[in-house]
């Protein structure tokens, strides 16, 4: 998986208790776009470039949900881990998209605050029946780090 590009507002949102990043806490979700977000200007989902249509994404919108599997610190370093995610086109194509942004769907302090985004390096289109696995890395059994804060 590509490196997470953190939105600058995310640090302030953490300090202001906007996010509950514990297991069973707030629901995180992906948003797919073809235009690169701005880490310095974008703060909430509606600030992002127009998201692509999810009409042909199997199970949408809940297929874009991120399942947090661990949220803990060790000697002052916090790690947020999630299950790998598979997106599948069904009934037509999905895309093109290049950027997968993560936002918080559940917070009441602020509507859909942004956390960070991944850049796949080039545009992707999922044709009908094709899948994309979002692999957060190998921390065991299909889990991996979304982010680490030291």
**Top-confidence residue, 145 or 29:** 29
Q: Is the pLDDT of residue 52 over 60?
A: yes
The structure's pTM equals 0.91
Sheet holding 77-83, edge to edge: 68-74, 77-83, 143-149
What are the residues facing 114 on neighbouring strands? 103
Could you tell me if 66 and 142 are in contact, meaning their C-beta atoms sit under 8 angstroms apart? no
What are the residues facing 94 on neighbouring strands? 126
CA distance 75 to 97: 38
Non-local CB neighbours of 61 within 8 Å, separated by 6+ positions: 29, 54
Helix (H) / strand (E) element for 12: namely helix 9-15
Q: Give the pLDDT confidence score for residue 73 in this predicted structure.
A: 83
**Residue range 59-87, pLDDT digits in tens:** 888 889 999 988 888 888 888 889 888 99
Q: Give the pLDDT confidence score for residue 138 in this predicted structure.
A: 61
**Residue range 88-110, pLDDT digits in tens:** 999 999 999 999 999 999 988 89
Could you tell me if 8 and 40 are in contact, meaning their C-beta atoms sit under 8 angstroms apart? yes
Read off the tokens for 42: 């974008």
Q: What number is the average pLDDT over the span 125-145?
A: 79
Domain residue spans of the chain:
5-149
């Amino acid at each position: 998986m590509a490196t997470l590009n953190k939105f600058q507002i995310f640090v302030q949102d953490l300090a202001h208790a906007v996010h509950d990043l514990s297991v069973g806490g707030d629901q995180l979700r992906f948003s797919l776009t073809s235009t690169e977000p701005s880490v310095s200007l974008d703060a909430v989902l509606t600030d992002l470039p127009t998201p692509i249509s999810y009409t042909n994404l199997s199970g949408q919108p809940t297929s874009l949900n991120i399942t947090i599997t661990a949220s803990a610190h060790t000697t002052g370093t916090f790690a947020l881990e999630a299950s790998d995610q598979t997106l599948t086109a069904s009934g037509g194509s999905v895309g093109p998209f290049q950027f997968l942004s993560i936002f918080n769907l559940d917070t009441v302090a602020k509507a859909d605050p942004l956390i960070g985004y991944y850049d796949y390096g080039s545009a992707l289109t999922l044709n009908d029946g094709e899948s994309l696995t979002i692999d957060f890395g190998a921390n065991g059994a299909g889990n991996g780090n979304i982010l680490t804060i030291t």
